Amino acid sequence: MSLPYLTATLPGIGGSIKNRPEDFFVQELPLYQPTGDGEHIYCEIQKIGLTTFDTIDRLARALHVHPKDIGYAGLKDARAITRQLFSILGSSEQAVASLQLPNLSVLWTARHGNKLRQGHLAANRFAIKIRDVNPTDVVKLQPYIDILKTTGLPNYFGEQRFGRRGDNHLLGAALIRGDDPAVLSLLLGSPNSSLDDAQTQGARKAFDRNDLEHAMRLFPRRSGMERRVLARLIKTGNPSIAVRTVDENLRRLWVSALQSDLFNEIVAHRINSLNRLSDGDLAMKHENGACFLVESAATEQPRCDSFEISPTGPLVGYRMTLPQGEALGIEQEVMAAHNLKPEDFRVEGRHKVKGARRPLRIQPKDIELSGGVDEFGQHITVAFTLPPGSFATVLLRELMKSPAGE
């Protein structure tokens, strides 16, 4: 992430994260407790080295239910120990509680009347070990924490939002613009020596020189999506038909990544004023997510100082509410730099994204710091709580100021 730091005047402690799954722990804190009655089985599951969707697939197979009958509140990294909430329709508490699956254990079960939906979280609690550091450097971190508590943490989207190749937002932009050849170029071409093995590089190079048959022969079997899209392109010669071969959920993910990239740029523009309102801002109440137009920044600033409210940025869409004044100017400048406008996010038959507002900053809570040594070496452990949709790696990059923390 080539984004400015809030704590740019502080040097950072360096180090690395995610050396082992056990070094990165996250637990979902529920928005509400199950009632004990209803047809959905709520459960908390601890998993190691599994994505949320891997877990859903394993649960569905083991319990003989459809994956769509399993609800979840949030997405969690695979390279971690995570405690995550799920709801399951069509099973029993006993069946769920007695599951014994590799790298997955059921901590508790209870019944509830409705399916768990994305966003039904109060917060996420993290405990993360930073390796390759001097444990005594933990004493240097208090000034960082003081800034993050008072000013707030930049509410950037983390790098995982942009995919393994870091180009999900570029794919989203090409989709929004209706530039199907550009989508295919990113998806099937554009070799990267640091990400692709030699065979995949060869396939991508062949696509870039329009040798589609040779590219098909070279793409490995594990590149199933790329092979399906390329096969449709070879058969039809029509880039639009080929792009529609991509799963709709993945295309939505690309557009979401574009929204995230635009939001990050706006946060970066306002990095030195995250805790200050301007006339015309759209401010969000942290308590309930409601937004309102700031007519007098001087009047509302005390509420911002107490972290009751914060200025917002756009998750761009065709029905997104726009601010006024200086805030609107920044958002329009960023959109114009990408040759995009909100109405581009509504194209019949391709995509319709309403849009939303997101606070420019969030307040980390219950921060705990400790240094130590275990069987794998020295470390500093940072524990903290963040609201749903915010990224732990964004906090860590402020402390570390190193590529491993980004």
List, by residue number, the catalytic residues.
77
CA–CA dist 11, 28 (Å, integer): 31
CA–CA dist 10, 338 (Å, integer): 32
Beta-carbon contacts of 403 under 8 Å, excluding residues fewer than 6 positions away, are: none
Among candidates 363, 395, 400, which has minimal Cα distance to 380? Answer: 400
Tell me the one-letter amino acid at 174: A
Rg of the chain over all Cα atoms, to the nearest angstrom: 23
Query: Which 3 state secondary structure label does DSSP give 401?
Result: coil
Structure tokens at 120: 């039904």
Q: Across the strands, what pairs with 283? A: 292, 311
The upper half-sphere exposure of residue 238, i.e. CA atoms within 13 Å in the direction of its Cβ, equals 5
- For residues 184 and 210, the answer to whether their CB atoms sit within 8 Å is no
- For residues 365 and 385, the answer to whether their CB atoms sit within 8 Å is yes
Tell me the CA distances in angstroms from 402 to 142, 148, 167, 371, 405, one per residue in order: 18, 18, 21, 19, 5
Tell me the one-letter amino acid at 384: F
Structure tokens at 53: 């969707």
